[in-house]
Every structure is written in structure tokens, then in C-alpha cells.
Amino acid sequence: MPLVDNVTHTLIGVLAGEAVHRFLPPSAVLSDRARRTIAIGVLAVGGNLPDADVLYTVAGTTGDYLLHHRGHTHTLIGALGGSVLLYLAVRLWWRYRGIRPGRADTWLLVGLSLAGPLLHLALDFTNNYGIHPFWPVDNHWYYGDAVFIVEPLLWACAAVLLFTLPSRTMRVLIALVIVAGLGLTWFSGFVPAVFAALLTVLALGLTAVGRFASARVAVASGLAAWLAVTAVFLATSQAADTRVQARLAWTAGEFVRPPKAGRYWSSSPRSIRSGASSIA
């Protein structure tokens, strides 16, 4: 589901971009509006850029999509290439508009251009599709196997933006996404009511923080909620994996019971057969 997955990438990019704008000192050259646009735009676009691989897989078969999605664009080399394109695009825009950025603005753009695609890779790592970031040196895939590709809890973390972003259009779109997430959670039949209630409390709580707290506190709360949700998913996934492995080891022990004392025993099929014959 690349479209829904990109909703998450976009929301996290907007949230991170607003945090950058709120916590860094004002630019000596760029206006407040221009710098916010750059911060949010670069992180939102960069946060989706690695999924550009769908452009050369969408016309193919399902097999082509599965083979190439999260391929070269989802590596550190591919992310770096995307970062260069982002940087050059903004510099060309500045040149077209006659803007001469200061040294701090240039370094900010470098950091944002690098962070956007890397943030995408970090988010993709957390689910079971995984990424292979170190290609071509290492083609091993890494899986967080923790966060579902469609996770309304992550959408809810953007609720703080409902009262911090100046753009009414963006606020309305974010509200619609959060409401859709709540609707899917309550009425899809796949989520227990207790978890749907937890999502509702999180969304309402962060909305209240965005309404009554300062912009910095609100944005920091949204980022903290996102990191906390991700950490909980990763921890529970690791705990579940440990229990499954222990259960499998115990089950294997049940099938291969040790014989009476004094007998040699091996778990290899040949030894099991010979041991069974000697016991019989």
C-alpha cells in the first residue's frame, strides 16, 4: 500500500520540518514563512523521495513491483543521490527567485536534504518489509518487524500540528487523515476496542497539547509521542520474537526427548532412527 505508507512519511516529514523551524534561530536572509516552507517542504518531499522507484515499477507486473520496490532508492547511496537532487532543486529555486541565502541557510538546506531520505529509510526499517541500506557492499536486508505499514498511532502524533501550522489547507488535510485513522480503527473490525480507545485518547490529548501549549512544547510532544510509539512497538516485537524462539526450542525438545542415562544420543535423523531401534 504505497499511498497509505506515504501518508505516514509525509506526516512525519511535516512534523519534523515544523520542529526544525520552531527550534532554530531566525534566518538573517529568509523570511519566517520562506524558511518554514523550505524546512517542511524538503523533509516532506525528501521523506517520500526513495519511493520514486514506483515510477519504473508501476507499469510492470506485480512481480516487478515486489522485486524493485525498496531497491536501489532505499539504500544509503540512493538516499544520498536523492539528497543531492533536493539540494540542487532548492538552490535553483532560490536562484530563480533572486534569493542569496546566508551561510547558515545553506548548511540548513544541506542538513534537511540529507535528513529527508534518511528519515524515510529509518521509517521503512521498522516494518517487516525491511531495507538493505548498505548495498552494494552488503546486500543483507534489515527488518524492524515492529510497525505495521498502515499505523494510525503514528498519524495521531501529527495532531499537534492542528494548531501550530499557519496553513489552513494543511491543517484540514491532517485532521481528515487523523479522523480516517480513528474511523478505520473503530469500525474496521481488526482492532480491539481497547486499542481503538488508546488511539482516541492519544489523538485528543495531542490535539489539546497543540491547542493550549506553546508551539515548541506542542511540536516536541508530537515528536516524543512518535518516538515513544515506535520504541514500544520495537520492544514488544523483540519480546514476542524472544518468546516465539523459546517456544520453538521447547517444542523441538519435546519431539527429541533424551533417552535413558548411559545411551549416546544425537538429534540427527540417522542417530534418532538408530537410537529408536536400540530402545525398541
**Residue 261 — pLDDT band, cuts 50, 70, 90?**
very low
Do residues 78 and 213 share a domain?
Answer: no
Do residues 215 and 201 share a domain?
Answer: yes
**Residue 5 — pLDDT band, cuts 50, 70, 90?**
confident
In which residue are the cell numbers 495521531 written? 156
Q: What is the mean pLDDT of residues 128-156?
A: 87
How confident is the model over 180-226, as pLDDT tens digits? 999 999 998 888 999 999 999 999 999 999 999 999 999 999 999 99
Evaluate whether residue 164 is within a structural domain: yes
Mark which of 116, 150, 184 sits at the end of a domain: 150
Beta-bridge partners for 142: 131
Do residues 128 and 6 share a domain?
Answer: yes
Say how many domains are in the chain. Answer: 2
pLDDT at 115: 97
Evaluate whether residue 258 is within a structural domain: no
Q: Per-residue pLDDT for 57 more than 70?
A: no
DSSP-derived 3-state class of residue 148: coil
Dihedral over Cα of 259, 264, 265, 270: its sign: negative
Do residues 56 and 140 share a domain?
Answer: yes
Do residues 122 and 57 share a domain?
Answer: yes
pTM: 0.83
Q: What are phi and psi of 179, to 5 degrees?
A: -65, -40
Q: State which residues form the domain around 7.
A: 1-150
